[in-house]
Chain A
Amino acid sequence: MLFNSLHFALFFLVVMAVFYVLPPRVRVWWILVASLFFYCFESRENPISEQSIYLFTAIGVSYVTGLIMGLVPSEGRFKILRVILLLEGLIADFGMLFYFKYTKFFIELINPSIVQRGGTPISTDFNLLMPIGISFFIFTSTGYLIDVYKRKIEPEKNPFYYALFTCFFPCIMSGPIERADHLIPQLKKLHEVKVINVDRMSNGIVLILWGLFAKMVIADRIAMIVDNVYGHYYNFGSVEIIFASICYSIQIYCDFMSYSTIAMGCSKMMGIDVFDNFDAPYLSQSVQEFWRRWHISLSSWLRDYVYIPLGGSRCSKIRKYLNVMITFLVSGIWHGAGINFIIWGGIHGALQVIDGVTSPLRKKINELTHAKTDSFGYKFGRGAVTFILVDLAWVFFRVTDFNLAVELIKRMFYKPDLWLLFNGGLYTLGLDQKEFNILFMAVLALIVMDIAKKKSQKPVGDIMLDQPWWFRWIVIIALFFAVLTFGIYGPAFDASGFIYLQF
């Protein structure tokens, strides 16, 4: 049930209608039922999918483990028991993730050495149907276990609250990856949510419309350029490939940001705040800042549960850089079982290490050249360099074949025919002039919104709440009709899946 499908629209309308009609104390149970329905019936071809069992396993294991861990004292001879319990929970959770996501990859990785030693390679002729959203609900569960182990939170005693925390329908498929101390208290106060709260509702509607706009007007439209150029790269020159790479950066941002934004909007309409997962990432001044603004719930998860436990930055510089590399390699592996994802993670880690190593040198050069580091030009330059680096790394994310990714990057530096930018050549890449103009205007709106977001440091919905009512009306109506008119949907199109659903 995709967020940009009519099925979801109907589902959400029913959920909301019943939510406000039910006695307040029952709301939480209703959301739990709705969440389980949402997950179990996500595939109409395969209702009550067998894969739901893995979600229930993750919920059960983490709940029971957390509960027992809470009963075991942290000090003395029982301390080891807590470690064992934590490991048991983590192994059970990560075991499932590894089994579904990495078994094939791992076999393909070790097969060459088996063959080299004269053995028979292990067959990879099997198909493991990965439970949708597994990377997200496993990280949610494991984060909870670690927090309980660290006594950062008390274990949740009510199994239904815990289950809802793990399978809350706006977040289960593609995040944001929630934290127990953030979401569970809100679930417990659902009965206090006022039925009529115009500000909250309009905030939620703005978020949902903005998410739909990003997905249906920008991401699915720009995908036509990306798919065409990447699919037939041999027909295109450097300008087209660079342009398509920039388009892909926009596509993946809008695609993923849209899901998180719609999740935020849906949650907001039920009186729940979930994490804002994106904060104008392409306006970052460095790769490090990019990761503070991109997929924030995952970045913070990796920071809290991988980077800091490894020692974080409170250690030697070499160790710190090693920790950064490990964290980003984990991030790469999390995104997918493939060398390309590891390389992509590695590039981001390496860029941050290089940034850290060259930082004193750059400072020195700035001092010597009296560079105006606060000026718009300097910031723009840094932002542009950051965007280019992130953009180049996306090539490895988009193209699963390493050699092909290298070939594409090489092609970016062939003799560029810059006239293509002015002679209408861009209109032949998959979108005609009208569609291109619509895309251009939509991306312009995206840039304006991101600048507003960065300046105000508020989510889109809150920015709109600060505006006069008539302005909010104009924005909501404009977004509504933009999605209705220019969105990519309808019988002639297949509802386009969200890229991050595959992770």
Chain B
Amino acid sequence: MKVKEVLFSVFKSLKNAIRAVAFLLLVAFLINIWVGWLKPKHFDGNLMMDAFYAQQENSVDVLVIGSSHTFVDVNTGTLWNEHGIPSFVIGGSLQPFWSSYYYLKEAVKTQTPKLVILEALACNIEEDNTFPGIIFNNVYGMRWGMEKLESIRASVFDTDGFVDYALFFEDYHNRYPELDMLDISGDLGDSVRQEYWKGFYDYFLIQDLSEPEFTEEVLPEPMVNKEEYYYRLILDFCQENDIPLLIMVSPDGGYTDRARAHYAYASEIADEYGVNFVDFNNYYDEIGLDFSYDFADLGHLNHFGNRKFTEYLGDYLTENYDLPDRRNDESGVYDSWDENYHYLENRFDNYVLSDTFDVNKYLGRLVTLSDEYEVFVTISDLTYITDEMRTYLGINGIPSARPYDERRWVIRGGNTTILYPDENGLYYEEIAGEHHLAISLNGTFFDDDDVFIELENQTGVEIVVYDTYNQTVADAVVIFGTEVWRL
């Protein structure tokens, strides 16, 4: 009897232990899903680290770290296409030097850069640079480890702050109101979905600025003590690890004498270490910058500006550093830079298409689109159709005599196919093997991207252009007479 009781007790304890372990495993599994959903997913500091970790080991020759100026000014596609330099940008808005320092230490765990470019905006930031947004953008993308913990510790003032930020969920949970299907599906959409993203983000805005004016001479002015401490740590680290370092100031529409004074001070420190410090604000003419056209805002270059700047930077790098041209490498290690360039080019083409408002020009661009694009056509009203539109439809074998036609057409690789509705009235097409475009009488949408384009009550010819390479809607318009309306 006693043996039976003991056995029963052991069995019960074992059952409870198994149940407890199973419960904890289930909670851990659910927390993992929860983190995946609520993790911030923006290109500024967070997702670029995901992309960085996805890079092949020892493939990055030039690592660029620093503020937002890095990820909008240094065009990784141009560096690759023009100079064969495989580069990666780890930037974050107003990135302080302590974040740069720990990013650098994190980066060299998997990469052996032949050059590190440190962008120097942080030495020109005088105010307290530790508010939450800065920490989120410059720390949270990093994987858990000592570098991340050290980076948090350097970013806060006290233990409370450390605990607050080290427990990532305190920030993650605030995202619940903005949670959408993108977070849940894990499909991050244009600009960040690609595994070949290199941290650079191309801006297409244009702001008309004046060229900054500054006096001839400034006296060096010290930077904030804490920034200087970590600035020197970066210099020390690169020196100890034999990593060539370039410190640069990128072109800045808001450049001032005060900034020059701080950069002069930083330059003196760089001299102590024998490190090149280049303020590209001294080379506006050489770069060919047009301040009325090449800036997206006061501090950041746009697509046109970053190409000019990066070409100039690339020339400087190839002249001054030992950087091999990897374009002819056939090992496959650098294929992703080709893809990165391709992605950036398509993204620019999409921008040009979506910025075209003249029907004839628009149709001209449609005709020249590569096979990577698919064009979906819906005819709702032929009352004001132009001859050019009619010609375009005719070339593609789309009859333009039946208004309110229930048929839809897709032009793919020069061939036109009629789409027939399924039992739910949806015109459904598989694209790139994964994504699906469904057109209903009410709208056009991607079933897994939640992109919704309203077609209902439109008059004219609706055109949706899908970029299969970047897996994104390049443009969606209604052409009505001679006008192009964006949907």
Write the residues of chain A forming the contact surface with B, with a CB cutoff of 8 angstroms.
6-7, 44, 196, 198, 432, 434-435, 469, 473, 476-477, 480-481, 484-487, 489-492
Closest residue of A by beta carbon distance from B156: A491
Known A480-B27, A489-B170, A490-B164: A435·B132 in contact at CB below 8 Å: no
Q: Are A477 and B27 in contact (CB under 8 A)?
A: yes
Name the 3 nearest CB pairs between A and B, nearest first: A490-B170, A198-B16, A491-B164
| A22 to B132 alpha-carbon distance, docked (Å) | 41
Q: Are B171 and A477 in contact (CB under 8 A)?
A: no
Q: Are B23 and A473 in contact (CB under 8 A)?
A: yes
Q: Does B34 contact A (CB under 8 A)?
A: yes
Q: Are A491 and B171 in contact (CB under 8 A)?
A: yes
| A473 to B23 alpha-carbon distance, docked (Å) | 8
Q: Can you spell out 8 A-B residue pairs with CB atoms less than 8 angstroms apart?
A: A6-B164, A196-B17, A434-B177, A473-B26, A486-B176, A490-B170, A491-B165, A492-B132
| A476 to B23 alpha-carbon distance, docked (Å) | 10
Near A by CB (< 8 A), chain B positions 342-385 give none
Q: Are B38 and A491 in contact (CB under 8 A)?
A: no
List residues of chain B with CB within 8 A of the CB of A485. Answer: 34, 38, 173, 176
Q: Are A6 and B174 in contact (CB under 8 A)?
A: no
| A490 to B170 alpha-carbon distance, docked (Å) | 4
Known A484-B169, A485-B176, A486-B176: A6·B163 in contact at CB below 8 Å: yes
List residues of chain A with CB within 8 A of the CB of B27. Answer: 477, 480
Closest residue of B by beta carbon distance from A197: B16
Q: Is the interface of B mostly helix, strand, loop or mixed?
A: helix
Q: Are A481 and B13 in contact (CB under 8 A)?
A: no
Q: Does B407 contact A (CB under 8 A)?
A: no
List residues of chain A with CB within 8 A of the CB of B23. Answer: 473, 476
Q: Does B167 contact A (CB under 8 A)?
A: yes
Chain B: residues with Cβ within 8 Å of the partner, total of 25
Closest residue of A by beta carbon distance from B33: A481
List residues of chain A with CB within 8 A of the CB of B395. Answer: none
B30 in complex: contacting residue of A7, A434, A481, A489, CB < 8 Å:
A481
| A196 to B16 alpha-carbon distance, docked (Å) | 9
List residues of chain B with CB within 8 A of the CB of A489. Answer: 170, 173
Q: Does B108 contact A (CB under 8 A)?
A: no
- Shortest A7–chain B CB gap in Å is 8
| A490 to B135 alpha-carbon distance, docked (Å) | 14
| A434 to B167 alpha-carbon distance, docked (Å) | 25
Given contacts A198-B19, A198-B20, 10 further A-B contacts (CB under 8 A): A44-B160, A196-B16, A473-B26, A481-B30, A484-B169, A485-B38, A485-B176, A489-B173, A491-B170, A491-B171
| A117 to B19 alpha-carbon distance, docked (Å) | 76
Q: Are A196 and B13 in contact (CB under 8 A)?
A: yes
Closest residue of A by beta carbon distance from B17: A196
Closest residue of A by beta carbon distance from B22: A473
B177 in complex: contacting residue of A6, A435, A484, A491, CB < 8 Å:
A435
Near A by CB (< 8 A), chain B positions 24-53 give 26-27, 30, 34, 38
Q: Are B34 and A481 in contact (CB under 8 A)?
A: yes
Q: Are A469 and B176 in contact (CB under 8 A)?
A: no
- Shortest A269–chain B CB gap in Å is 14
Which of B16, B38, B165 gathers most chain A CB within 10 Å?
B16
Closest residue of B by beta carbon distance from A472: B23
List residues of chain A with CB within 8 A of the CB of B19. Answer: 198, 469
| A486 to B174 alpha-carbon distance, docked (Å) | 8
List residues of chain B with CB within 8 A of the CB of A492. Answer: 132, 174
